[in-house]
């Protein structure tokens, strides 16, 4: 996996809803990444699937943050065991695949994020942001404050509503396909697999 192509930006993406971590090889310059992100009217399209439709390359990874290592140590100490860590610092990760029951299967040797990587937290329009390597926070166009988001009179823009509905329908269709496919191996109901338009 090549990290760089003419100084393109690498972003560590933490997806809150799916509790997944990704590496995004943008293939873009800093200004291009800022322009792409800052023009997003909503992040609802990414709520269920994460950043898989981002431009460039997106890879699922296994990454232990300092917080995650602390949780693992507490859980192991309660069980009277010693905690095993797969990574020693926050720049190390493995490419990974999701196995049965949402288990994570490393599929690479240990890799290291570039020192100048960016970070993104991906969740909802009030809880998604990107930070550059030097700490500049970049918000998408549709970002709203918690105060506004949780107010009684908050009305999301129509695009946010449409993207949310589309994402939910597609997510539900995947569940239906998995369930009907696992029961008899035949998914003959074509309506179940239609994408929301």
Per-residue pLDDT of the chain (197 residues; tens, 9 = 90+): 555 445 699 999 999 988 899 999 999 999 999 999 999 999 999 999 999 999 999 999 988 766 666 666 777 777 777 656 555 567 889 899 988 877 888 899 989 999 999 999 999 999 999 999 999 999 999 999 999 999 999 999 999 999 999 989 998 998 898 888 766 555 444 544 455 55
Closest CA to 119 of 106, 107, 110, 128: 128
**pTM score, two decimals?**
0.77
Cα 173 from Cα 48, distance rounded (Å): 12
Cα 48 from Cα 67, distance rounded (Å): 24
Cα 187 from Cα 31, distance rounded (Å): 45
Residue ranges of alpha helices (H) inside 39-150 are 66-78, 146-149
């Amino acid at each position: 996996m090549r990290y760089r192509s003419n100084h393109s930006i690498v972003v560590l993406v933490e997806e809150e809803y799916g509790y997944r971590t990704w590496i995004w090889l943008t293939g873009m310059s800093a200004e291009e990444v800022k322009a792409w992100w800052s023009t997003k009217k909503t992040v609802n399209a990414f709520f269920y699937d994460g950043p898989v439709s981002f431009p460039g390359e997106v890879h699922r990874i296994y990454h232990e943050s300092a917080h995650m290592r602390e949780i693992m140590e507490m859980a192991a100490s309660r069980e009277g065991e010693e905690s095993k860590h797969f990574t020693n610092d926050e720049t190390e990760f493995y490419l990974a695949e999701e196995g049965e029951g949402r288990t994570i299967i490393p599929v690479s040797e240990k890799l290291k994020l570039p020192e100048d990587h960016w970070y993104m937290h991906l969740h909802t329009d009030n809880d998604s942001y990107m930070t550059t390597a030097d700490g500049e926070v970049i918000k998408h166009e549709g970002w709203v404050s918690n105060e506004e988001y949780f107010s009684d009179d908050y009305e999301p823009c129509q695009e946010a509503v449409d993207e949310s509905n589309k994402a939910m329908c597609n997510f539900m269709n995947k569940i239906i396909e998995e369930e009907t496919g696992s029961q008899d191996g035949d998914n003959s109901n074509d309506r179940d697999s239609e994408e929301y338009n």
